Amino acid sequence: MIVRALWEGLKSIGFGRRRRALQARAAVREDDILTAAGMAYVMKDVQPFVARGPSGDYAIFVTLPSAPPPPAGYPVLYMLDGNAFVGGAAEALQLQSRFWRQSQVEPALVVAVGYPGDALFDMGRRAYDFLPSHSSGKLSERFMQGAPWHQPGGADAFLDFLTGPLRDAIARRYPVDPARQVLSGHSFGGFFTLYALLTRPRAFRRYAALSPSLWWDEGRLPRDAQHLIAALPADLQADLLIVVAEDETPDRPHISARMLNDAADLAARLEREGPAGLAVRHVVLAGENHQSVPPTVFSRVLRFASAPLSSGPDSKKEG
C-alpha cells in the first residue's frame, strides 16, 4: 500500500510538468478557431489571502455568496483541504445562494483553508495539522503517506488557529454570525472534524465529517469514544453530519467495510450516548467512493451549514 501510494504520487508529479507543457503548446497554436485568452481560469468570486499559522503559512480562500447577509450575519463554513475543494464549493455556493428559497442553500460564507502552492493537497502539512500525536508503532500509520516527513501531531494547535486568529480575522472583514460556525473535512480532515467535536465540542456549532479516517492510529478515536462522549457537556447544542461512500476503496474492500462500520458505529454511539442537544445524521452514498464523496456532497454540506439553527440534522440514516 505504501509503495503504491508513493508510485501514484510520483506519477502525478511527473504528469504535472507534462500537463503544463501541453497547456503552453495549446495556447500558442494559431491555425484554427481557438485563440488563447489566458493560461488559467480565474474565479472572480474567490478572494485569496495568506495567513501565518502554527505550522507555517496557509492559503485562505474566501467566497461570498450571491445574496446579502441575514440580520445576524453569514454563517461561516470552514472547509479543509481548501486548494482541492474551493472551486467546487464556490461554484455550488454562487449558483444556489442566488435562488436560496428553491435550493435551500442560504447565503453563507465559505472559508477554504489550504496551503501555498499549486498542489491540490500538501500531504505532509495536512497529516500534521489534521492528526494528533499517534500511539501506534505501525509503519503505515507512523509514516502517514509512506514518507517519514508526513508526521502527525499538530491537530490541537491547528484547531487553536481555526477558532482563534483565523476566526477573528474573518469576523473583522465580513458580516458573520458567531452562532453559526461550521467545520467540514474529508478523510484525515473528517477525522479532524470528529476529533474537534469530541475534544472541543463548543469549537463549532456544526460539524460535517466526510469519509472520516477512523481507522487511523489503530482506531484511536472510536477506541477513545466512550470516555470522550461521556465528557461532552450535557447542555451541548450541536449538529453532526457524517458521510461515507458505499464503496470507499473499491480495490480494497476490507478497508471499505471498516470505514463503513466505523462511521455507523460512532454515529450510533453518539446518538445513543451523547447529549440530547447533539443531532446526528449518518449518510451512506450509494455508488460513490472515497475520492468522489466531496464533489458529490458540496450542495448537501452547504445546506447543512447554512440552515437555520432550528432545522439541524435529524438522526435518520440515509441510503
Nearest to 74, CA basis, from 43, 40, 97, 41: 97
| E-state strands within 118-277 | 176-186, 206-210, 238-245
Amino acid at the residue 6: L
User: What does the angle CA 110 – CA 197 – CA 122 come to, to the nearest 5 degrees?
Assistant: 55
Q: Which residues are catalytic?
A: 187, 248, 290
CA–CA–CA angle 262, 266, 269 (5° rounding): 140
From start to end of the chain, where are the E strands? 46-53, 56-63, 74-80, 109-114, 176-186, 206-210, 238-245, 278-285
**Alpha carbon distance 139, 307 (integer Å):** 42
| 8 Å CB contact between 7 and 145 | no
Look at the block and give the residue holding cell 495536512.
Answer: 126
Check residue 67 and report its DSSP letter.
S
CA terminus-to-terminus distance, the chain: 30
Beta strands of 88-148 (E only): which ranges? 109-114
Q: Which residues have a Cβ under 8 Å from the Cβ of 7 and sit 6 or more positions away?
A: none
Q: How many residues does the chain have?
A: 319
